[in-house]
Chains A and B, each alone.
Chain A
């Protein structure tokens, strides 16, 4: 946000804030980020009001004072209407806007057409609830706007985030203790990966690859030339694979065959490659396609750091030996480098970290010793006397503002690429469940009493109108493919909305259905799509009815 990619706040702030907005679909913090939700609930018990914006009335939304059941993909229309309502009632923080932001006029003009009525039409949420959200957000002393995967795994992910950032700028709910923007990360170290430069356009510490001055510092320390152009993000890589420009792929710790949208396409791409290397702790479905598989040591078997959603860098340690021939990633990469003729000595995790610290000002003060002692430090932490940063962008409250103003970005509603038609009448969203994780490579290996296998969650009303019962197997078809799955009724779904988890690709590969329409700004794929239940003969209740609904 405004440069560095990280949540602006700390978990503890949400315990003391006045208003919490959980904004996001397809993901449900209560289940996907349970311990983060503990902090949310502390806030709620301390008196914070809570709004939840989600097509499903999830177990997170069940805690909200107001739940807004928007249509999938209508987040921007909702956010813009909230912005317009705030402006029309003069509730914006004009001092903050004047002193710390730019582009307000364009933004105000841009949201003008998003009246409450129009937003109601686009989002399906009653205008009154939108009005309430706008007024409470604007009037709160402190407010935390949180989102999870739902907002970002979407074809216009970046615009979604910008629409929310706009709201925080409008109200001054950023850069202060208790007020901020909180994207909760889906993977243990997705934050750290980005921090470390595992992005096509960034060097460690969010330093631009195309900035020659920055590059020069890295080249001096690394003794090697750094490519001067940004690389391709994943969706562009897909395109390059399709175009035959990208013919060799080295995948570390990912299972794209099962985790990426539109898996039929993905299989074709991977098998068309000239050369595929997969480095992983398991022989995943993707690894089975590889020319070379490098067995890696996994979590619990290696040293290093993870960075959490509150920008907290924490130590990760080795507790047990890796099995068989497996080695940690640093050792494998060093060995590959040596095999390529570079005289790399395998560094320890700490040595690699210390080298990075020299180059990334955000991490400069984070020695292993300090990380150990403090239970983790939050970046920016530029030097060894710095205590780390609870929240970002405090600079926006300096008067006069000493650095760059925060820009508004007018963004437009952009409905889902897949439209609902008579032929494809039901909207599918995908997401996680409590006890499982991504494609189930790790989480599938423990016995969970809460496991809900690959099923199609439907509203009981849709079940009735289609003529299916719980437990019936149905064929689910989207414009891209079809699969079979048993039906499960979920009362948190409204008619016209369905849900599937992504955890059981071997049984029910939901990404066969989903659309690989990607966001041109961040390269995140859209997880939503349409699907259709074929008109099969209605099944008899006797043979298929199992038992009553199981809530979640």
Chain B
């Protein structure tokens, strides 16, 4: 690292922001300097440092970049590579308040275009954004003001989009009766900013129970419960936790993946915002059971409320002796830290998330080796998404048998679905595995306006379209797999019979094009070629016949699915191909 200082110096505000995070810089004393391995290990503070500057002044200027580079001994080019990877970091001129307007699958159906047109004529700077995870109240925006922070607003219209607010949004509405709920039972009922309220509702009894069971008892219960990961891969949780527990110590990590970025997905946001102590309690048990003393909760950058709730909750839990050394007066230590994403869908992929925590571009790594052996900082790591962690909490609290009684044999327990789009009551719904798609739609009040069903996109942009013929399909891992569909993230995006799917598919294609990390050829170039082909078909400017274009799309789908490094590329053609197969209106045919 031949640090070559950029000629620009940081402004006082930038220096202050960085020093606030890293402490004051040491003067060169000319006689002794400590650096090397210890200094380089501070690279993991890179994203927090970039956030600090972005938050304070609205951009990462040359001077700020140079100063962070100097402070963390990370070469400026490396830093620039990282800063330009994440869409929430601005390496151009600083701007004032910026409005990020979601124009993704759901919001684009509900007025996003109008908002963009309104902003075009306003003084505010704005950007079109991928899904902001507020789909139950589309269309949504996120504000960012230097020095102020981030705020969400949804729904907004042309009149309100310019009203910059930083008030926290109310929680998403839970439509179901309390008796039907386990995972969602505290949402909107228990004050998420109060540890007392959490304890009063039974919180932290599960940690006590876990300590009684011991690490092995906890993991055995997870095995018996049949709990599988809710993030999309459906991996048995007991096996994962045991993998970390059995890995040689001492440095191991557990991570809560709160980088929920799949379009149409917002359940984890609800949980983090509405029940943050439950996330912390689950992570504490995760650390206890696996022998990890450090945990991270990685929250996507577009969830400022969730991030704040979690940070506050960690402080309260620490003060109450529920985090830190000798947690709950038991013989284990556990520290928990919140890390904020910065606008990169790919960071939901676990190895990309590790890279992001470590201070690198969020580029996925080849697996194997798997995280339980080689995770964050190259150490054994357990990583689960938020819903899975809360489900694990349920297993310990109510017992494995009780948990497994819910759902089907292969898909046990309760499951959350995020229903959005053309339904009467969009929101998160908690149902036992095995509930059919039709039943879920009924819970959400059916197709909006009494119209007929066009199609449902299951699993978000990386998912598949299904039509009315799937309404009786039980939503389980096994049934969806058999039907060639997927549960994916639990997104259920509903389109009515009048929907023109052409623009939807082009938006999905653009999503992958914009969110591809750029590392592997099938995804980096394939997603662009897929978009180009859809545009040509839409414009009637096909290369050769329509059949030629369909063949080309099929070739691209195959190479992306077969040869991409990670799930992003592997699923980038999934929804589009399913729409073509179903011959949805406006899909290429």
Contact = CB atoms under 8 A, between A and B. Distances in A.
Interface string B1-44: 11111010000000000000000000011111111111000000
Contacts of B30: 57, 69, 459, 493-495, 497
A69 B37 contact: no
Given A62-B1, A62-B3, A63-B1, A50 B28 contact: no
B32 A62 contact: no
Interface stretch (A122-130, A377-385, A408-416, A522-530): A122-130
Interface stretch (A155-163, A304-312, A362-370, A543-551): A543-551
Interface string B220-264: 000000000000000000000000000000000000000000000
Contacts of B33: 57, 61, 64, 66-67, 69
A32 interface: no
Interface in B109-127: none
Nearest to A128: B32
Contacts of B37: 44, 47, 49, 65
Residue among B2, B3, B29, B30 facing the most chain A CB atoms (10 A cut-off):
B30
A59 interface: yes
A125 B29 CA distance: 10
B37 to A, nearest CB: 6
A491 interface: yes
A59 B35 contact: no
Contacts of A44: 36-37
A356 to B, nearest CB: 41
Contacts of A57: 28, 30, 33
Interface string A402-422: 000000000000000000000
A68 interface: yes
Residue among B5, B31, B34 facing the most chain A CB atoms (10 A cut-off):
B31
Nearest to B9: A548
A65 B2 contact: no
B32 A50 contact: no
A30 interface: yes
Contacts of A547: 7
Contact of A69 (B1, B5, B32, B34): B32
A471 to B, nearest CB: 15
A65 B32 CA distance: 10
A368 B111 CA distance: 80
A125 B28 CA distance: 13
B145 to A, nearest CB: 32
Given A30-B2, A549-B5, A551-B4, A124 B31 contact: yes
A65 B31 contact: no
A44 B37 CA distance: 8
B278 to A, nearest CB: 40
B5 A64 contact: no
A491 B38 contact: no
Contacts of B73: 62
A551 B32 contact: no
Interface in A62-86: 62-69
A126 B30 CA distance: 11
A62 B7 CA distance: 19
A495 B29 CA distance: 10
A72 to B, nearest CB: 13
A459 B5 CA distance: 16
Residue among A66, A491, A495 facing the most chain B CB atoms (10 A cut-off):
A66
A228 to B, nearest CB: 51
B32 A64 contact: no
Give the dominant DSSP class at B's interface. loop
B35 A62 contact: yes
Interface residues of A, number: 31
A536 B33 CA distance: 35
A59 B73 CA distance: 12
Contacts of A551: 3-5
A348 B34 CA distance: 54
Contacts of B28: 57, 491, 494
A550 B167 CA distance: 47
Contacts of A125: 31-32
Nearest to A61: B33
Interface in A112-142: 124-126, 129
A53 B22 CA distance: 28
A69 B34 CA distance: 11
Contacts of B31: 68-69, 124-126, 129, 494
Interface string B122-156: 00000000000000000000000000000000000
Contacts of A549: 5
B36 A64 contact: yes
Nearest to B34: A66
A1 B38 CA distance: 35
A548 B7 contact: yes
Interface in A1-54: 30, 44, 47, 49-50
Interface in A457-504: 459, 491, 493-495, 497
B32 A67 contact: yes
Interface in B452-498: none
B31 to A, nearest CB: 5
A166 to B, nearest CB: 23
A494 B34 CA distance: 16
A63 B36 contact: yes
A69 B36 CA distance: 15
B368 to A, nearest CB: 22
Contacts of B2: 30, 59, 62
Contacts of B29: 494
Contacts of A129: 31-32
B79 to A, nearest CB: 15
A303 B34 CA distance: 47
Nearest to B5: A551
A66 B38 CA distance: 10
B99 to A, nearest CB: 37
Contacts of A494: 28-31
Contact of A65 (B1, B3, B35): B35
Nearest to B32: A129
Given A124-B31, A126-B31, A495-B30, A49 B36 contact: yes
Contacts of B4: 551-552
A67 B35 contact: yes
Contact of B35 (A64, A69, A493): A64
11 contacts: A49-B36, A50-B36, A65-B35, A65-B37, A66-B33, A66-B35, A68-B31, A125-B31, A126-B31, A548-B7, A549-B5
Interface of A: 30, 44, 47, 49-50, 57, 59, 61-69, 124-126, 129, 459, 491, 493-495, 497, 547-549, 551-552
Given A126-B32, A129-B32, A494-B29, 9 more contacts: A50-B36, A62-B2, A62-B3, A65-B37, A66-B35, A68-B32, A124-B31, A125-B32, A126-B31
Interface of B: 1-5, 7, 28-38, 73
Closest 5 CB pairs of A and B: A494-B30, A65-B36, A67-B33, A129-B32, A69-B31
